[in-house]
Amino acid sequence: MTQTTTRVLEPSDLDAALEVLGREPVANAFVTSRVQVAGLDPWRLGGEMWGWYADGELLSLCYAGANLVPVCAGPDAVRAFADRARRTGRRCSSIVGPAEATRLLWQLLEPAWGPARDVRSRQPLMTIDHPSTTVAPDPQVRRVRKDEMDLIMPACVAMFTEEVGISPMVGDGGLLYQARVAELVGSGRSFARVDDGRVVFKAEIGAATPGACQIQGVWVDPAFRGRGHSEAGMAAVVAYALRDVAPVVSLYVNDFNTAARAAYRRVGFREVGAFMSVLF
């Protein structure tokens, strides 16, 4: 019989963990980016990395930090991760990952952790690996400068509140969220179109690895929607990302957001899978 075990990974397990993450570079971009920067030390990583072994071989991971994220996890691994999560108790604000694994993980955890504030059961995962051939990039979309934090923060807060349903300023007064925005701005991964001191469009490259990067936080000022800013802005960000960051650009979007999905398809994105998010 196959012998399986689950344990918290240690810094010495880094190479084995990166091998697992490398099997699906697009789907695993978020976790891979964190591991490549912080390694597997829980303090630097911002959480534990759980590993699932079969006959001594590391086959699956689960990042357990502010998010609970299954990685390359089949049903047996998901059940093992769910058992561990139940024992440790809920410490995360969301469960997010490939839809099939996340759905089973939530089914197993819901009796102990539910109810959730929101469940987004299907979020199409979309990718593009070439500059848009159908939409001209907006030439006014540029990197946000470090001295423009006061300009970009209100747009970031508006986007987060609209997308997640709560303000990122609650709890700690927004300190962690402001630090994350500052990190993206400082690393040159925050982009915006600014007209007369007003952010019209903005987006960030939130996760970046040598194999793939992930766009997040796409937002258009409500007063400027319906004018093509999202398509032209995304075409510009894609061009920056492909040139400077990674050979594949990805994002995931709520399936009910038909306008955004259509806009991304016009830019040239195609659906390659689906994520799922459970929000607490």
Residues 107-154 pLDDT 10s: 999 999 999 999 999 999 999 999 999 999 999 999 999 999 999 999
134 by Cβ neighbours in 10 Å (0-12 / 13-18 / 19+) ranks as: exposed
The CATH fold assigned to 4-115 is Aminopeptidase (3.40.630)
pTM of the model: 0.93
Same fold, 4-115 and 141-272: yes
What are phi and psi for residue 224, nearest 5 degrees? -115, 10
pLDDT in the model for residue 130: 97
Q: Hey, where are the domains in the chain?
A: 4-115, 141-272
| Structural tokens at position 69 | 């994220």
Provide the Cα torsion 242, 248, 252, 257; round to 10°.
60
User: What is the CATH architecture of 141-272?
Assistant: 3-Layer(aba) Sandwich (3.40)
pLDDT band at 212 (very low <50, low <70, confident <90, very high): very high
Buried b / exposed e over 26-53, threshold 16 CB at 10 Å, is bbbbbbbbbbeeebbebeebebbbbbbb
- Cβ–Cβ contacts within 10 Å for residue 150, how many? 7
